[in-house]
Structure 1
Amino acid sequence: MERGRPEFGSPEGAEDLAAVADIIAQAFAMPPADSVAWVEKAAANIRVLREQGEVLATATAIPMGQFFFGQRVSMAGIGGVGVAPSARGRGAATRLMRHALQELRGMGFALSVLYPATQPLYRRVGYEQAGARFEIRVQAHALDFSERSLQLRPIKASDQPAIQEVYRRYASTRQGYLDRGPYVWDRVLHPRKETAYGFLVEGANGVEGYLYLVRRSKVDLQQELFLTDFVALTPAAGRRLLSFLGDHRSLAREVVWTGAQVDPLLLLLPEQTYQVKLLFHWMLRVLDVPAALESRGYPQGVSGTLHFELEDELFPDNSGSFILEVSGGAGHIRRGGGNSLMRMDIRAFASLYTGFMSPEALRSVGALVADDATVRLATTLFSGPAPALPDMF
């Protein structure tokens, strides 16, 4: 390794950044000018792996949070993972990810989430499927609403604090939604090579909902309306925003947004004139087991004491026996003795933690070992709405 150049760390100078841009361009079939622009935007969060001073691989860590039962858990999203073509097949990506996860745990993040281009790499370092992202596609002609009770107007720059507060109130009631940081908000407001137009609806108490809309040209002068964000806090806001979208039906064929498999706004439609399609299963890695369990919320009115044992090859502090005590919507964790009644590795724990897989489902494929009573207790403590993410990063 070149003297003074660590194996892992932030890019150092223009040469490293150029190498990152080249890796990103080739890994994601991106035009070089676009990869350079992406690197400029993400530079503060980029990490690289070097060998003999040369950049072999890169990843971007994005600080944010994730909501579980109304409580925020610190989370770092991982994106832009790429390896130089000449370095592939030598374990560079695994080394890169191990370094990145160690750094993130040291920074105090409890969780990490990513969208995998390939699963074996991320499973090797402790990630597992833990939630989903769905596309909701509604036929515009079905949005025949006449709701006009709330004022609708374009969003101004001065509205951003109110918009972000509305989003946070909404996201905190959805299992797995992000507590967005600047990086993700920028993707919402400024989608690459497209223009997002924002509109909000107001009532007596202020902003009740909003959307950001991208108009995509289709054949025969028709359009597709893609929503980079769509939030309604009240029934009136939902109907008003759907009315606004329906007002485009003379030119728009479909309205598209992303979110959970079950979107309550679809209940407002008179017919099932929509499709819900799975886009991705995202993967989660628990970095700090005690922090992750104590910072998330739990179902109100549920209590119990769960003994379990974990295996984590990368972080020995996550391995061993634990006792989780849940009451009043909160969890408290302590080290246990030899009375562990449920055993799993850190990957299975990720799926259990979010509620993506039930204890019985994990047991059915050999990912979890427990007796029936313990499975019933774990189901009670970790059950809830299916975890979802509308955002890419």
Structure 2
Amino acid sequence: METTSGDYGQPRDEQELAAAAEVMQQSYAMSAADALAWAQRVGRDDLRLLRHDGQVVGTLVYMKMGQWYGGRSVPTVGVGGVGVHPVYRGHGTATTLMTHLLRDARATGAPLSTLYPATQPLYRRVGYEQAGARYEYRVQVPSLSFHERPLSLRAIEARDEAAITECYQRTARSRQGWLDRGAYVWSRVRTPRDGQAHGYLVEGTSGVEGYLYVVRKQLQGWKQELLLSDFVANTREAALRLWSFLGDHQSLATEAVWFGGGDEPLLRMLKEQTYSVKLHMHWMIRVLDVATALQARGWPAGFSGTLHLEVEDELFPENHGRFVLEVSDGEARVRRGGEGRMAMNVRTLSSLYTGFMSAEALRTMGAFVRVDDASVRTAMALFSGPPPSIRDMF
């Protein structure tokens, strides 16, 4: 029953969509109704199946989006909802499914693929590696004693969608790794699965300066928890108004909860450390196209440097071999050849690419096949920047 090959593609009809929902149901302990609703919400365009002898044995959600690196949006294929029919587990099905997915994604021209791992060995086998973090913040609402209301606040309406997107982009483009959201991820923000979200925005002279989406989760008794599927402020005035809005819930709400990186600037405005920051998960990326990925991202302005790389990639021969990376004033050029002074597998390149692990840390852990001191110093400067993070779960 080995599924080392298989027929991969989008659902062909409603019957296959229902079969995919059944795999999701058994993989994620969902009700049949919830699993079918999930499959229908994703739709045929963004669902991928693996078939064996005509039966659907594996599923995943395929998301076209981007990630911000160095102020530029790099196309990536997000992967979620990976599931395998229980009968076909332990037979290489998930590895086969992911191999098909990666070839499919590379063929579209996307240089990266991004996911949250339920299990790391599977994804490491096909070239993914840890590349950033997602943190959970919990703030005690009764401690929010903000009384300034410098901006007006109102409920978000359908006509605000473009302005909200632009407001998010102004913050996201400066945060290493944050998503350049596609339709699927925006739907997770506006219509999360764990309840109904209500959106509120704040406006200044330049338009929308901040917003949040909140799901009010009922706790024991009359108390509630405020789950923020998004919380963005581009100015201090916007942050003050949104904090005061959350503080207005103090008679009923215990905590406000949201997600982001380890360097959340909104926490700096709190009078006391009446909050907790906890690692939620490390996410992983897979470099699909070495040259395109390096050329697509932004680099430190005013700095020039050259790295002679050598990459090992068992899945994509196009990535295998030597490359010269030349960076100057925020732009990169990549060409074949060079001396291969910094040699690594494609997984090590993932951690280096995002800045999640420094070249010195990777050398300490023996992640390079070979490397010299000069290359480490250059890589430390080139791949510097804010710690990579993602706000969204997908």
CA positional deviation for 1:373: 1.4
How many Å separate the matches in 2 of 1:205 and 1:119? Answer: 45
- Matched residue type, 1:15: Q
CA distance in 1, matches of 2:171, 2:156: 18
Offset, 1:352: 0.3
Over residues 52-102 of structure 1, what are the superposed CA-to-partner deviations in whole Å (9 max), with x where a residue is unaligned?
111111111100000001101000100010110000110011011001100
Aligned to 2:119: 118
**Which residue number corresponds to residue 83 of structure 1?**
84
Equivalent position of 1:363 in the other structure = 363
- Stretches of structure 1 lacking an aligned partner (at least 5 in a row): none
Does residue 7 (structure 1) correspond to residue 7 (structure 2)? The answer is: yes
Q: Secondary structure at the match of 2:221?
A: helix
Which amino acid in the other structure matches residue 330 of structure 1? E
Q: Cα offset for 1:15?
A: 2.0
Which residue is 2:239 aligned to?
238
- 1:164 offset after TM fit, Å? 0.6
Question: Structure 2: how far apart are the matches of 1:83 and 1:93?
Answer: 7
1:178-217 correspondence to structure 2 within 5 Å = 178-217=179-218
Letter in 2 for 1:391: D
TM-score (norm. length: structure 1)? 0.97
Matched residue type, 1:352: L
Matches within 5 A, 1:1-393: 7-43=7-43, 44-337=45-338, 339-368=339-368, 369-393=370-394
Offset at 1:330?
Answer: 1.4
Deviation track 1:103-141 (CA, whole Å, cap 9, x = no partner) reads 100011111000010011000000000001100000112
Distance 1:237 1:345 in 2: 44
1:80 & 1:9 partners in 2: Cα distance?
A: 15
Unaligned runs of 5+ in 2: none
Distance (Å, rounded) in 1 between the aligned partners of 2:80 and 2:303: 36
Give the drift of 1:220. Answer: 2.5
The AA in structure 2 aligned to 1:375 is V
Mapped contact 2:294–2:334 kept (Cα < 8 A): yes
Q: Taking structure 2 as the reference length, what is the TM-score of the superposition?
A: 0.97
Q: Is the 8 A contact 2:102 2:288 kept in 1?
A: yes
Structure-2 separation of matches of 1:264 and 1:51? 49
| Preserved CA contact (<8 Å) 2:178 2:390 | yes
Deviation at 1:14, TM superposition (A): 2.0
Mapped to 1, the partners of 2:91 and 2:15 lie a distance apart of 23
- Counterpart-to-counterpart distance in 2, 1:305 and 1:378: 9
Secondary structure in 1 matching 2:189: helix
SS in 2 for 1:21: helix
Kindly provide the CA deviation profile for residues 220-255 of structure 1, in whole angstroms up to 9, marking residues without a partner as x.
311111100010000110111011101111111111
**What's the CA shift string for 1:307-356, capped at 9, x where partnerless?**
1100000001011000001111111111123x111010000000000000
- Structure 1 letter corresponding to 2:279: L
Q: How far does residue 187 in structure 1 lie from its aligned partner after superposition?
A: 0.6
Asked if the contact 2:156/2:199 (under 8 Å) is kept, the reply is yes
Distance in 2, matches of 1:76 and 1:308, equals 25
**Partner Cα distance (2:194, 2:301) in 1:** 44
AA in 1 matched with 2:82: V
- Paired letter, 1:145: F
What is the CA–CA distance in structure 2 between the aligned matches of 1:59 and 1:73, rounded to whole Å? 22
| Deviations 1:21-74 (CA, angstroms, capped at 9, x unpaired) | 110000000111000000001122111111111111111110000000110100
Q: Which amino acid aligns with 1:182?
A: A
User: Quick one: distance in 2 between partners of 1:168 and 1:384?
Assistant: 18
SS at match of 1:90: coil
Letter in 1 for 2:78: G
Q: Which amino acid aligns with 2:147?
A: S
Matched residue of 1:108: which SS?
coil
Decide whether the 8 Å contact of 2:140 with 2:254 is kept in 1.
Answer: yes
| C-alpha distance in 2 between matches for 1:58 and 1:167 | 31
- Structure 2 distance, partners of 1:237, 1:72, is 25
What SS class does the counterpart of residue 219 from structure 1 fall into? coil
2:136–2:260 Cα contact (<8 Å) kept:
yes
After the TM superposition, which parts of structure 1 deviate over 3 Å for at least 4 consecutive aligned residues?
none
Name the aligned partner's letter for residue 161 of structure 2.
Answer: Q
SS of alignment partner, residue 221 of structure 1 = coil
2:303 aligns to what SS in structure 1?
coil
**Root-mean-square deviation (Å):** 1.1
2:302 maps to amino acid: G
- Alpha-carbon distance in 2 for matches of 1:65, 1:141: 37
Q: Write the distance in 2 (CA, Å) between the matches of 1:193 and 1:308.
A: 45
Amino acid at match of 2:381: T
